Amino acid sequence: MPQPGEIWLAEIPFTSGAASKLRPVLVLWTDAADVVVAAVTSAEPRSTTDVALHGWSAAGLRVASTVRLSRLDCLEQHLLRRRLGVLAASDAEQATRVWAAEIRLRF
pLDDT at position 17 is 74
pLDDT at position 73 is 95
Q: What's the CA gap between 87 and 27, in Å, rounded? A: 10
pLDDT at position 104 is 80
In the chain, what are the domains? Answer: 6-102 (2.30.30.110)
**Mean pLDDT of the 92-99 span:** 97
| Residue-wise pLDDT tens digits, 58-68 | 999 999 999 99
| Residue-wise pLDDT tens digits, 19-74 | 889 999 999 999 999 999 999 999 999 999 999 999 999 999 999 999 999 999 99
Q: Is the separation of the CB atoms in 24 and 61 below 8 Å?
A: yes
